[in-house]
Amino acid sequence: MKLRPAVVAVCTTVLVACATAPEYQRPALELPAAWKLDAPWRVGQPRDTAPKGAWWQIFGDSALDALQQQALLNSPTLVMAQARLLQARATLAATSASALPQLGLSERVGRQKISANRPLSNYASPNFSTVQNELSVAMTVNYELDLAGRIEQSAAGAQASVAQTAAELENTRLLLSTDLAANYFNLREIDAELDVLERAIDLQRRALELVKARYELGAASGLDLAQQQALLEATLVQLELLRRQRGQFEHAVATLTGVVAPQFSLPVDSLVRSAPALPLGLPSELLQRRPDIAAAERAMAAANAQIGVANAAFYPSIMLGSTFGTDSRDLASLFDAPSLLWSFGLSAAQSLFDGGRLRANLEFSRAGYDATVANYRRVVLIAMQEVEDGITGLVALSRAASQARTATTAARRVLDMTTARYEGGVSPYLDLVTAQQSLLLSERQSVQLLGQELVTSVFLIKALGGSVSD
């Protein structure tokens, strides 16, 4: 008899040790010490505690700032993500409540007739039919002994799910803001292209008037006139196609800001002159910066806790229960001492044979955890790829943009010289058309490269987790 408490303590300790989930550890990743940088990049000093929200302000575009604020307030996608976070928090509260005693109060008021022909409970006691009242008031207390750790692991999994959902909300906010910025800069790049085309059309119309005048004087052929007219018409076609593309980007911006497309209009504006410099931190800092990586890591923690829940199902479920109340057929005697009733007891349930269901659930949980580990590694690898793509892309675009600006300056000078020579009758008309086309292509290419730089900068900020180091 003296050994029983010790035996119970040992059995309880073994039960808890066997039922808990494996100790959670974030998988180790082989991360590079630094990015492969090329001029003009430099390694920045990150400030992980600094606010990361308004990253778009580094572009210095007030119209973009206003659109971003509107999107954060009106986007239905963001509202959906916020609702999922509230659901996760409610699930955590409900799961955590299972660790506390459950109190209940029951009342019953009734009048009933008992059958005289019901089965006998004693051969010596005949049954009688009675009609009587029943008044009952009782308080119940139930508490589950979490010896196997089921409740603890369920709460741990719910807590990890809340953190995962919060990270997914941040990722939704990041994707929303970067998609909006990318569509906005694509639209502004088309605005700049439209400006180039409109100036080219003015130039080509003046050239057409010049050719007409020379044609009427007999100094130019009908072929020269037809070629200039065809060039002007082709440029007008390009203008209409660009306007169509602009409408599509404008509609995308409307949707992202929570406005129906027919009621949204964005006035034509100029494109910012250059992409901002984006100093970089270390590759390992992505693990703290990117919300999708944080969400993948918390998903691992939640899956690990589910292993503990599945493992706890192999062990007995023990419930403490008690009842205290009164029961009487008359209201006057309901609270008298003879009407008191109470009970206290312990119930346990243990599965003896389930055809392998519990084992299958445990294997399912373990496989789910392995899947989250693989997903975590995949997300990190993609993050590394996206940052490197952004770095190399901006370097190449920066160099190409510089060369395009030089080419545009040269093409403009060639057109001026060719126009003067054509007016003087020295150069053929074909040289003038060639010079016009060369300038148009060079100016459009310069604008396109600047737009690509801005969009790639947005892409890189997204890859860095929406944080820009100083």
172 and 275 housed in the same domain: yes
| Domain of 425, in residue numbers | 20-100+148-314+356-463
Dist CA 197 CA 194 (whole Å): 5
Calculate mean pLDDT across residues 375-384: 90
Contacts of 79 (CB under 8 A, 6+ apart): none
Segment among 123-127, 235-239, 325-329, 340-344 with least mean pLDDT: 123-127
Segment among 17-31, 96-110, 112-126, 203-217 with least mean pLDDT: 17-31
At 432-463, the pLDDT tens digits run 888 888 888 888 899 999 999 999 989 988 88
283 vs 469: which has the higher pLDDT:
283
pTM: 0.78
205 and 249 housed in the same domain: yes
How far is C-alpha 43 from the geometric centre of its chain's CA atoms? 27
Residue 222 token pair: 């009908």
Segment among 17-26, 69-78, 215-224, 322-331 with least mean pLDDT: 17-26
Cβ atoms of 256 and 179 closer than 8 Å: yes
Residue 469 within a domain: no
Give the pLDDT band of residue 184 (cuts 50, 70, 90).
very high
State the helix-helix crossing angle for 357-423 and 291-312, rounded to 10 degrees.
170
Calculate mean pLDDT across residues 69-79: 93
Cβ atoms of 265 and 250 closer than 8 Å: yes
Contacts of 314 (CB under 8 A, 6+ apart): 19, 148, 351, 358, 362
How many domains does the chain divide into?
A: 2
pLDDT over threshold 50, residue 118: yes
How far is C-alpha 131 from the geometric centre of its chain's CA atoms? 66
CATH number at residue 337: 2.20.200.10
Calculate mean pLDDT across residues 111-130: 86
pLDDT over threshold 90, residue 82: yes
Q: Decide which of 301, 332, 349 is a domain's last residue.
A: 349
111 and 30 housed in the same domain: no
453 and 378 housed in the same domain: yes
How far is C-alpha 447 from the geometric centre of its chain's CA atoms? 32
Dist CA 247 CA 329 (whole Å): 80
Segment among 83-87, 152-156, 214-218 with least mean pLDDT: 214-218
pLDDT over threshold 90, residue 180: yes
Residue 126 within a domain: no
Dist CA 359 CA 363 (whole Å): 6
Residue 43 within a domain: yes
pLDDT over threshold 70, residue 38: no
Question: What pLDDT is recorded for position 241?
Answer: 94
208 and 339 housed in the same domain: no
pLDDT over threshold 90, residue 240: yes
Residue 400 within a domain: yes
Cβ atoms of 43 and 34 closer than 8 Å: yes
Q: Decide which of 349, 373, 408 is a domain's last residue.
A: 349
pLDDT over threshold 90, residue 275: no
Q: Decide which of 349, 370, 402 is a domain's last residue.
A: 349
429 vs 133: which has the higher pLDDT:
133
335 and 431 housed in the same domain: no
Instruction: Find, among 194, 200, 196, 202, the residue nearest to 250 by Cα.
Output: 194
Residue 13 within a domain: no
Please count the helices (runs of H) and the strands (runs of E) in the chain: 9, 4
Question: What pLDDT is recorded for position 281?
Answer: 61
308 and 401 housed in the same domain: yes
Residue 390 within a domain: yes
Calculate mean pLDDT across residues 217-246: 89
Residue 1 within a domain: no
At 311-331, the pLDDT tens digits run 998 999 889 999 999 988 888
Q: Encode burial over 251-284: b for 16+ CB neighbours within 10 A, e otherwise.
A: bbbbbbbbbeeeeeebeeeebbeebeebebbbbe
pLDDT over threshold 50, residue 33: no
Instruction: Find, among 20, 68, 31, 52, the residue nearest to 181 by Cα.
Output: 68
Dist CA 74 CA 82 (whole Å): 12
At 121-139, the pLDDT tens digits run 888 888 888 898 888 999 9
Question: What pLDDT is recorded for position 210?
Answer: 83
295 and 328 housed in the same domain: no
Contacts of 167 (CB under 8 A, 6+ apart): 291, 292, 294, 295, 298
Dist CA 353 CA 35 (whole Å): 56
220 and 363 housed in the same domain: yes
Give me the residue label for tokens 């007016």: 423
CATH number at residue 191: 1.20.1600.10
321 and 272 housed in the same domain: no
208 and 338 housed in the same domain: no
416 and 284 housed in the same domain: yes
Residue 426 within a domain: yes
Q: 6 - beta bridge partners?
A: none
